[in-house]
Structure 1
Amino acid sequence: MTVAPTENTQAPAAPADRDELRRRIDVLGIEAQLTSDELAVRDTARRFVDERIRPNIAQWYEDARFPVEIVPELGRLGLLGMHLDGYGCPGRSAVEYGLVGMELEAGDSGLRTFVSVQGSLAMSAIHKFGSEEQKQQYLPGMARGEIIGCFGLTEPKAGSDPAGMVTYARRDGDHWIISGEKRWIGLASIAQLAIIWAKTDEGLRGFIVPTDTPGFTARVLEPKLSMRASVQCEIELDEVRIPDSLRLPEATGYRGPFSCLNEARYGIMWGALGAARDCLEEVLAYTSERRQFGTPIAAFQLTQRRLVEMQLELQKGLLVALHTGRLKDAGTLDPVQISVGKLNNVRAAIEIARDARAMLGGNGITLDYSPLRHANNLESVRTYEGTDEVHTLILGRALTGHAAFS
């Protein structure tokens, strides 16, 4: 199905117009707090989104297709595993990684999620916990986008409580045999390798599982109302046999997967703001052009109030993200602080997307405009890598000293 413009709509803002809109939105002058290197990396991602994503995303979303052809382009731009050092990885800062995530999610959450699964989850697991041989074998190709990875932690009955995992790996001489199921695993059907977390007699362990190994099956979950330009799967592991050389030797216990999840959660606090900013840009351009009763909608008091509320939440969220990134780059970040950004920024972003859709009226339910697409995607972003409830309880435990998880 071809997505065609709808009658009586104003065209979404062009890139040059968006620059002016962004200047107006940045009432606190946050951009002035960024270094020249940070701005350069951000602008590289911004140009990629303007040139490759915006013209195509409505069709990709409509067709429920992840554009796998852009993966090597992301690699050439240095956006895969960009916060990792060595092994062909760019070694950029946490703030630079966050800025790129924001720009990518301004295009679509599903595309930023790809970069997160590849870099913050699969590549981070190998970089943090793999052997030297594993790092040399896999990371350079993953950084170039030649090898796609996925991260198998969540199960059908073990989401917010990974301790309920039933996937099990048993030793058999110099091999491991893995059986179980994983669900909501991004990229699994297009990946060449999967990081699989499984219980063993020695505790929780991580494994690199080539997806062409006999017994490994990935099935795409569809139809979906969210993240349609992305791929989520369920994985079946039926007596999958791999050598011990594919076990992540430094991954022992739940510290392994949780440290990777924190990398992804950090990126989310930035990415969600990209979706929110894109919504505000679109509705700000729309209300400035759309006239009712002979007056631009943007001139009405109620419209200005709604726009300003969006602006305030977006600016506050960006301050949280930037401060968190500076702490991460300084090596002083407490994982609890990541929960502040994930909880606050995604919650704010989804409210901005919903209100922006409402301000577009009937035109807002079409794919000519991004807010409803972003709102649908953000329902997934709000759920994965820790729901609102999980992050609330993480913060509650830190605040009160009492754990309320059980």
Structure 2
Amino acid sequence: MSDFQEYFEPHHKLIRDSVRRFVEREIAPFVDEWEEAEGFPRELYLKAGAAGILGIGYPEALGGSHEGDVFAKVAASEELMRCGSGGLVAGLGSLDIGLPPIVKWAQPSVRERVVSQVLSGEKIMALAITESSGGSDVANLQTRAVRDGDCYRVNGSKTFITSGIRADYYTVAVRTGEPGFAGISLLLIEKGTQGFTVGRQLKKMGWWASDTAELFFEDCRVPVANLIGAENMGFACIMGNFQNERLALALMANMTSQMALEQSLEWARQREAFGKPIGKFQVLKHRLAEMATQLEVSREFTYRQAAKMAAGKSVIKEISMAKNVATDTADRITYDAVQILGGAGYMRESLVERLYRDNRILSIGGGTREVMNEIIAKQMGL
């Protein structure tokens, strides 16, 4: 398959090599154990912070590196996915959906206090938008924040929050105004704030190594200084943040496909049936060829959108398309990989079994496939 080097500079290879070594040293030997334990040590955040991985894409003044370098983030993200656990990558990377609004729109005192702690791995960041009543219908969220002097009183709940159990800081979407998208704001809410409680750890089909939780707010008093951006302007902040999240999910899907294809090719070359390797049978050769073709197309399209984002172009429609293409491709390739491995692919010790389970969330998170199609249609004037 292509190496897509036209998208990467020499320093991206250095980043890729560095993250690969980190994965080989700090994650790969333990990932199966952490999957079964449904969590990984908090210490891994500190190690990733010290290695400079968490800071990629963030301002140097706040402890980051390679600010605005989209393909630095691409290279690091792909190598992290090589650990084979989407849940671990999602948990370790929850800062990438919770922190950008802080970096861009929080008051300087909040930004300077919070961002460096998160990039070092000392503190953990989560994004809290989804509610049980709304799902992908962000404009209809019900958690309400009412101004009360120098504080907001917050009441409501959130669910399906990645890193919800262990996070220290939460970027929380609340309703400060009228119904609809124009009445939404973002608040930074810290663990330990009176009236804020973290619920049970939720059991999931996949992403076992990431903690996922419910959050509850009961007359939770949050300083007005913790408002992120202007009041009632949170929806625009959320939508801007979603573009990077959808790119990240497309990259995860493509790497899931890549690993599933590699496992399938290895099996096809080694496994014998009826006196020859199963990869010599035409039906399997053609299936593998189709898998490789689908992945090649998906990755090229995803990279093109990343390149446009790096150039400062708006890709609202295209990144939604890329997410759908990538997750559809991963749906097919992980399904085929389990089928090719047969009984072995159904066993928990098989990587493709985990890839198959972990993959299922990718067309749901960050806006469902159906929501992506609504966005695409709207951008087409429909």
For Structure 1 versus Structure 2, the TM-score category normalised by the shorter chain is over 0.9
Question: By how many angstroms is 1:125 displaced?
Answer: 1.2
Match of 2:153, SS state, is strand
Aligned equivalent of 1:283, options 249, 264, 286: 264
1:38 aligns with 2:19: no
Instruction: Indicate conservation of the 8 Å contact 2:253/2:330, yes or no.
Output: yes
Aligned equivalent of 1:88, options 53, 63, 70: 63
Aligned equivalent of 2:164, options 179, 188, 192: 188
Aligned equivalent of 1:354, options 319, 335, 347: 335
Alignment-mate amino acid for residue 366 of structure 1: M
1:255 aligns with 2:236: yes
Match of 1:373, SS state, is helix
Output the CA distance in 1 between the equivalents of 2:329 and 2:353: 15
Instruction: Indicate conservation of the 8 Å contact 1:354/1:372, yes or no.
Output: no
Match of 2:360, SS state, is helix
Instruction: Indicate conservation of the 8 Å contact 1:273/1:314, yes or no.
Output: yes
Alignment-mate amino acid for residue 112 of structure 1: V
Gaps of 5+ in 1: 1-25
Q: Deviations over 1:114-147 (max 9, x none)?
A: 244212x211010111111111101111111111
Match of 2:362, SS state, is helix
Question: By how many angstroms is 1:81 displaced?
Answer: 4.3
Aligned equivalent of 1:143, options 101, 112, 119: 119
- Cα 1:31–1:288 change in 2 (3 A) is farther
Match of 1:381, SS state, is coil
Aligned equivalent of 1:215, options 195, 203, 224: 195
Output the CA distance in 2 between the equivalents of 1:68 and 1:347: 33
Q: Deviations over 1:87-108 (max 9, x none)?
A: 1111341112122222222322
Output the CA distance in 1 between the equivalents of 2:166 and 2:329: 32
Question: By how many angstroms is 1:214 displaced?
Answer: 1.6
1:299 aligns with 2:287: no
Aligned equivalent of 1:320, options 288, 301, 305: 301
Aligned equivalent of 1:49, options 9, 23, 40: 23
Match of 2:47 in 1: 73
Match of 2:219 in 1: 239
1:134 aligns with 2:114: no
Question: By how many angstroms is 1:310 displaced?
Answer: 1.3
Match of 2:132, SS state, is coil
Q: Which moved more, 1:171-180 or 1:89-98?
A: 89-98
Question: By how many angstroms is 1:169 displaced?
Answer: 0.5
Q: TM-score, normalised by structure 2?
A: 0.93
Match of 2:86 in 1: 109
Instruction: Indicate conservation of the 8 Å contact 1:79/1:115, yes or no.
Output: no
Question: By how many angstroms is 1:253 displaced?
Answer: 3.6
Match of 2:373 in 1: 392
- Cα 1:33–1:97 change in 2 (3 A) is closer
RCO comparison, higher one (Cα < 8 Å, 6+): 1
Q: Deviations over 1:2-35 (max 9, x none)?
A: xxxxxxxxxxxxxxxxxxxxxxxx2x34236522
Output the CA distance in 1 between the equivalents of 2:331 and 2:200: 26
Q: Percent of pairs identical after alignment?
A: 25
Alignment-mate amino acid for residue 90 of structure 1: S
- Cα 1:274–1:62 change in 2 (3 A) is same
Match of 1:381 in 2: 362
Output the CA distance in 2 between the equivalents of 1:75 and 1:250: 30
Question: Aligned pairs, how many?
Answer: 374
Output the CA distance in 1 between the equivalents of 2:253 and 2:88: 12
Instruction: Indicate conservation of the 8 Å contact 1:218/1:233, yes or no.
Output: yes
Instruction: Indicate conservation of the 8 Å contact 1:118/1:149, yes or no.
Output: yes
Output the CA distance in 2 between the equivalents of 1:293 and 1:109: 36
Alignment-mate amino acid for residue 162 of structure 1: V
Match of 1:151, SS state, is strand
1:118 aligns with 2:101: no
Instruction: Indicate conservation of the 8 Å contact 1:80/1:145, yes or no.
Output: yes
Instruction: Indicate conservation of the 8 Å contact 1:89/1:139, yes or no.
Output: no
Match of 2:318 in 1: 337
Q: Deviations over 1:253-272 (max 9, x none)?
A: 41011212222111111121
Alignment-mate amino acid for residue 215 of structure 1: G
Match of 2:21, SS state, is helix
Q: Which moved more, 1:31-40 or 1:173-182?
A: 31-40
Output the CA distance in 2 between the equivalents of 1:292 and 1:276: 25
- Cα 1:48–1:367 change in 2 (3 A) is farther
Match of 1:254, SS state, is helix
Compute the RMSD of aligned alpha carbons: 1.7
Question: By how many angstroms is 1:367 displaced?
Answer: 2.8
Alignment-mate amino acid for residue 209 of structure 1: I
Alignment-mate amino acid for residue 225 of structure 2: S
Instruction: Indicate conservation of the 8 Å contact 2:7/2:71, yes or no.
Output: no
- Cα 1:253–1:391 change in 2 (3 A) is same
Alignment-mate amino acid for residue 287 of structure 1: A
Output the CA distance in 1 between the equivalents of 2:336 and 2:23: 24
